[in-house]
């Protein structure tokens, strides 16, 4: 069923396929091989990736950021300040070591912190992530699309955080 496929793909994306297989068996009494679980997860993942790519392509075909924001369903009155932090790290792949890029898009909330005796500190709030092993330009477009979705066009201030890597600053 469609619900079972969603459950399988969610487990397959959060756990190893072997661990997801154990969870399905233990919780739902569903006997599915790790390979079948992988195939379902990959199929659904490809569908989601296609949908995201279509949304992002539509975003870059639009003539203005305001229209892009509207196309992605951003509500009026976005955040006053939005943060975009980017970095990369090496991961082993079948093609050798590659850069895994990651971006966190978030707002902040000021809260009292127990570790500092109740002193108010700004903490990350409502964090969303973009990650991938891909070319910098494509990754930057996906980060931009997520920032627009999160209300960048309505924000009074956008802060970009990153180390000295040139690929990050070329995106900012």
Residue 64: the pLDDT is 47
Q: Which two tokens stand for residue 52?
A: 């995201």
Sheet of strand 81-93, all strands in order from the earlier edge strand to the far edge: 119-132, 96-113, 81-93, 157-161
Q: Which two tokens stand for residue 56?
A: 């992002």
Per DSSP, helices labelled H in the chain are 2-14, 17-28, 34-61, 65-71, 136-149, 166-171
Residue 103: the pLDDT is 95
- Percentage of residues in the chain having pLDDT higher than 90: 23
Residue 72: the pLDDT is 42
Mean pLDDT rounded to a whole number for the chain: 82
Please list, in sequence order, all residues whose beta carbon lies within 8 angstroms of the beta carbon of residue 141, skipping any fewer than 6 positions away. 56, 60
Cβ burial of 119 (10 Å; 0-12, 13-18, 19+) is exposed
Per DSSP, helices labelled H in 15-64 are 17-28, 34-61
Residue 14: the pLDDT is 80
The pTM of this model reads: 0.57
Q: Rounded to an integer, what distance in angstroms lies between the CA atom of residue 97 and that of residue 90?
A: 6
Q: Rounded to an integer, what distance in angstroms lies between the CA atom of residue 2 and that of residue 25?
A: 18
Most confident among 3-12, 50-59, 145-154 (mean pLDDT)? 145-154
Q: Which of 60, 14, 57 is nearest to 37 (CA)?
A: 14
3-state SS class at 92: strand
**Buried b / exposed e along 25-53 (16+ C-beta atoms within 10 A):** eeeeeeebeeeebbebbeebeeeeeeeee
Residue 79: the pLDDT is 52
Residue 90: the pLDDT is 95
Please list, in sequence order, all residues whose beta carbon lies within 8 angstroms of the beta carbon of residue 94, skipping any fewer than 6 positions away. none
């Amino acid at each position: 069923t469609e619900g079972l496929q969603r459950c399988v793909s969610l487990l397959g994306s959060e756990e190893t396929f072997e661990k997801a297989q154990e969870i399905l068996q233990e919780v739902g009494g569903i006997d599915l091989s790790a390979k079948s679980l992988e195939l379902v997860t990959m199929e659904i993942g490809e569908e989601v990736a296609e949908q995201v790519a279509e949304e992002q392509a539509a975003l870059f075909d639009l003539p203005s950021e305001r229209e892009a924001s509207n196309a992605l369903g951003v509500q009026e009155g976005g955040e006053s300040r939005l943060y975009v932090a980017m970095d990369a790290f090496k991961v082993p792949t079948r093609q050798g070591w590659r850069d895994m890029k990651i971006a966190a898009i978030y707002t902040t909330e000021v809260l009292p912190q127990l570790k500092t005796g109740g002193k108010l500190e700004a903490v990350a709030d409502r964090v969303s992530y973009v990650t991938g092993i891909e070319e910098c330009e494509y990754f930057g477009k996906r980060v931009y699309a997520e920032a627009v979705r999160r209300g960048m066009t309505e924000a009074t201030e956008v802060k970009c955080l990153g180390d000295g890597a040139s690929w990050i600053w070329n995106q900012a």
